Amino acid sequence: MSGSNEPGGPTPAAGPSKGALATVGVTIGLLAALVWAIRPPRVDFRPAPLDPAAEDCPKVRREFVPSNVTEIVDPPLAGLAPQARRRALYRLNFEPCPCGCNQSIASCRVNHPRCEVSRRLANEIIKEVQAQKAPR
């Protein structure tokens, strides 16, 4: 019976060879260099606020997302014609409030009713919409 435990027989390798380990190390190093080289720069430029932020609105860092508010209390939309009301709501939902809350004007009116910035802008938008002639 000839086995591998004979005193003069070859001994099996205990693990991967040095050449295989070197190849894996070089490959990992090259991949790391490639990832580092193609990493895009992440510059975060933000414009400075022109008006100071209102004290009534919270300062939350998030991206602006338009809202879907269908009714605001102040200023009331009840006196507008249906088409003018839709135009006003569209603008109120899609224009960001510059008070610092990073919400739409309509959402700021609903969530922060004491915000004077959104109240002033909502009144301006409603006046502009009322002054426009209805398209035919």
Instruction: Report pTM.
Output: 0.53
Span 50-61, pLDDT tens digits? 766 666 666 656
Alpha carbon distance 106, 94 (integer Å): 8
Mean pLDDT to the nearest integer, 60-86: 81
Average pLDDT score over the chain: 80
Asked whether residue 5 carries a pLDDT value surpassing 60, the answer given is no
Q: What is the DSSP string of 40-101?
A: PP-----PPPSSPPPTTS---------------TTTT-TTS-HHHHHHHHHHHHHSBPTTTT
Mean pLDDT to the nearest integer, 111-126: 90
pLDDT at 56: 65
- Confirm if 84 and 130 have CB atoms less than 8 A apart: yes
Alpha carbon distance 85, 72 (integer Å): 11
Amino acid (1-letter code) at residue 40: P
Burial grade of 110 (CB within 10 A; 0-12, 13-18, 19 or more): middle
Three-state SS at 96: strand
Mean pLDDT to the nearest integer, 15-32: 90
pLDDT at 23: 95
pLDDT at 101: 83
